[in-house]
Each structure stands twice: as C-alpha cells, then as structure tokens.
Amino acid sequence: MPDDTALPVPADDVVATSIPRPVDDHYRSPPECMRALMSVVDLSAGLHECCAGDGILAAVAADQLGAGAVTASTILPPAETYFAVEQQDFLQLGELRQPWIVTNPPYSKMGGKTLRNAGAAVAIITHALQLLEDAGDAAKGLCCLMDVRFALSEARNKPGGLLYERPATFIHSFQDRVTMYPAGTPMNVRLRNGTNSYGWLVWLPPFRRPGGHSLFTSMLNSRVHRQDGDRERFRLPLLRSR
C-alpha cells in the first residue's frame, strides 16, 4: 500500500470514530508485514498460516514462494478470501503440515469466548511449538505477528510460563506503528493509525530453552514493504495521515 498521503480520498470518505472489536479478534493483517518478515527469515521450505482469516498473509507469501509452498487454514473462513483458506481448528491438528508455522494469532478471543491473559495466543503458540518439537528435524520454526508487549508479561516469563520455558529466539520489532484492520471495515472508512508496537516473534530449534533469552531487534519498517495496489487488491480501509 502506498503512503497514505498519495491515496485519493473518496467523496464518501468516512472517518472512523469507534470500530467495535471484531469477533474472535479477527484483525486483518497488513500485507507489508509478511514481506518484512521474509526480508529477515528464509521461509522457502514452506509455511502454514494457521489463523489465516481472509488469507492476506498467505497470499503475500505465495507471491514469493508459490502457492504450493503455502498452506492456509482458519477455524471459520470468511466468505471472501484472498488465498485458498481451509476450515480447520488448529488446536485439533495432530501433525505439522509445513516446516514453518507463520501467523497473526488472536490474542484473547477464540471460539466466541474471552480468555484472560492472552489465553488464545498462548494456546495457539503452545500447540504450534509442540507440533514443531514432535516433528523433529522436519521443523523449521514459528513466526507470530504480535504486540511486543506480549513478550514482557511477568506471568509468561516466570518458571512454568510459556516464555520462560520456550523463549522466542528473535523478536523483530517494527520501527513504525503497524495498523491492524478490523474485519468488515469498508474501504471508504479512514482508520486511525495504529499506536501499538508490533513485531515478529520467531522461535527456532531448540524450542525448549528454560530460562533462555530472546534477541530483540528493531530493524523492520512496514512502510518500506508497502506496494502500490495492495489497498485495492485486499480491499483495505484508508488510514489517516500522520
């Protein structure tokens, strides 16, 4: 997506004042985030986008890797997708489908329920890491697009907590603020720019490193990876100018 100041504003442009939180935290991922990840992580062995939503991240990955190297699934695919998204409950999956698992997981809402302490994300990450561990040498790693505050939780960093027992190998944060798009937001709605710090949490083998540390980088910039045509291709809302 080109810089917002270069986009024509439709005559019926509507500035959003309040957007309801979408069901099951279905926020649409900016396509530039996948391109940014692929600039620092080699996903050529193939990836499974396990919380694919409408398939934006999967479609962008397929642009570089080819559709055959990308599997996309979600618990309830929407009517309109941008890649072939299968219906599948990832938490019921019994074996690894691709060497990499790459996703923007829901945070605290899943299956119509609200799970405290980022319970949805913790469940998905824990299951993904278990699949990778079980796969042994066939596994490459896990990449999750998340608010980096997820990595700062006291509970998750205590013995027994997810990030104490299985710390991310890298946290590649974005220098700029990434805007997530609530599902169902029309193209003519102008959203406020995101204010949270997002990044890619990346787990590489060995996945179980109790008490280990994550290498934190701030080398990604989403704007660098926007492309002309993204907004029209994925029917993305407008953003307010900064």
pLDDT in the model for residue 241: 59
pLDDT in the model for residue 202: 98
Domains and CATH numbers, the chain: 24-239 (3.40.50)
pLDDT in single tens digits along all 242 residues of the chain? 333 333 344 445 555 545 666 666 678 999 999 999 999 999 999 999 999 999 999 999 999 999 999 999 999 999 999 999 999 999 999 999 999 999 999 998 887 788 889 999 999 999 999 999 999 999 999 999 999 999 999 999 999 999 999 999 999 999 999 999 998 899 999 998 888 999 999 999 999 999 999 999 999 999 999 999 999 999 999 987 55
pLDDT in the model for residue 10: 46
pLDDT in the model for residue 111: 77
E-assigned strand segments in 98-214: 100-103, 109-110, 113-114, 141-147, 170-174, 181-182, 189-191, 198-203
pLDDT in the model for residue 110: 81
Contacts of 143 (CB under 8 A, 6+ apart): 37, 41, 43, 100, 101, 102, 103, 200, 201, 202, 203
pLDDT in the model for residue 23: 64
pLDDT in the model for residue 239: 86
